[in-house]
C-alpha cells in the first residue's frame, strides 16, 4: 500500500504479479470525485506510473541547440557501443573514441542507448531567439549594419529660428501669387462684363429691325 486516505482506507495499492506491475488508484480525478487533477503533484504522479518500476534517468542540465554533450563512460566488451536517438527518431551511431555528441541540431529530448540502458537529456532553444525587443542603433552599427544619416538630437536654436523664418517666407510668397492670380481673374471678369454691356444696344437694335 503506497498511500492511504485520511480515514485509513487504501488510496494507492501496488502489486507485482510475475513480471508485470499493477497500480490501483482508489480515486478518480474528475472534479466530482476529487481535486487531484488540480494538484501540483498530479503530473509527477502520472509520470511515475507511466515510467514504471525502472524509470529512465533524466539529465536536468540545461543544454542549448548545437551544444556539445558529454557521453557516459562505456562498458568494456563487444556490446559497449553507444547510439544517440534524436527527437525526430534519427539514430546516430557514436564512434568508439567519441566522448561527446555534437549533433544537437534539434530542440527536444535525446536518448543515449548504452549497454546499461537508455539515458536521456533535453536540448532547448537559445533564449535569445525569443527576444523580440528591437536592438539599439549602436548595436546594429557594431554588427556591421549600415544606417542612414540621422538628424542630431540637439538642434541649434538659431538654426531652428532661421528654418522657421524660411518656411514662413516661402508660405508668404505662395500667398502673394495666389492674390495676384485672384486680382487678375477679377480684372478679366470686369473686362468681359463691360464688353457684354457694350454689345447689348447693338443686339437690341438689330432685333428690332
Instruction: Please tell me which residue, 174 or 201, carries the higher pLDDT value.
Output: 174
Residues 116, 76 contacting (CB under 8 angstroms) = no
Q: Does any domain span residue 135?
A: yes
Convert the pLDDT of each residue in 109-119 to its tens digit: 999 888 777 88
Query: Per the structure, how many domains does the chain have?
Result: 3
Answer yes or no: is pLDDT of 87 > 50: yes
Give pLDDT, residue 110: 92
Cα–Cα dist 93/83, whole Å: 4
Residue 151 lies inside a defined structural domain of this protein: no
Is there a single domain that holds both residue 76 and residue 139? yes
Q: Is residue 154 assigned to a domain?
A: no
Task: State whether 100 and 177 are in the same domain.
Answer: no
Q: Using one digit for the tens of pLDDT, what is the confidence trace for 32-81? A: 777 878 888 787 777 777 766 655 554 556 789 999 988 877 655 444 57
- The predicted structure's pLDDT at residue 79: 43
- The predicted model gives 99-123 an average pLDDT of 87
Residue that is written with C-alpha cell 547510439 in the block? 83
Q: Name the residue range of residue 14's domain.
A: 1-55
* Cell numbers representing residue 131 in the block: 527576444
Specify if 13 maps to a domain: yes
Amino acid at each position: 500500500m503506497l498511500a492511504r486516505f485520511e480515514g485509513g482506507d487504501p488510496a494507492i495499492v501496488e502489486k507485482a504479479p510475475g513480471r508485470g506491475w499493477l497500480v490501483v488508484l482508489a480515486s478518480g480525478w474528475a472534479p466530482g470525485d476529487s481535486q487531484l487533477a488540480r494538484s501540483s503533484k498530479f503530473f509527477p504522479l502520472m509520470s511515475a506510473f507511466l515510467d514504471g518500476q525502472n524509470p529512465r534517468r533524466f539529465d536536468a542540465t540545461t543544454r542549448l541547440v548545437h551544444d556539445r554533450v558529454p557521453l557516459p563512460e562505456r562498458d568494456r566488451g563487444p556490446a559497449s557501443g553507444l547510439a544517440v536517438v534524436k527527437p525526430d527518431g534519427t539514430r546516430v551511431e557514436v564512434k568508439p573514441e567519441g566522448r561527446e555528441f555534437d549533433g544537437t541540431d534539434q530542440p527536444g529530448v535525446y536518448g543515449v542507448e548504452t549497454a546499461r540502458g537508455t539515458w536521456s537529456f533535453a536540448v532547448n532553444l537559445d533564449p535569445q531567439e525569443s527576444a523580440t525587443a528591437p536592438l539599439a542603433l549602436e548595436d546594429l552599427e557594431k554588427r556591421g549594419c549600415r544606417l542612414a544619416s540621422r538628424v542630431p538630437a540637439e538642434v541649434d536654436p538659431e538654426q531652428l529660428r532661421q528654418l522657421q523664418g524660411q518656411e514662413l517666407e516661402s508660405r508668404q510668397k505662395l500667398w502673394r501669387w495666389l492674390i495676384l492670380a485672384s486680382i487678375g481673374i477679377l480684372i478679366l471678369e470686369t473686362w468681359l462684363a463691360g464688353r457684354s454691356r457694350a454689345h447689348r444696344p447693338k443686339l437690341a437694335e438689330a432685333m428690332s429691325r
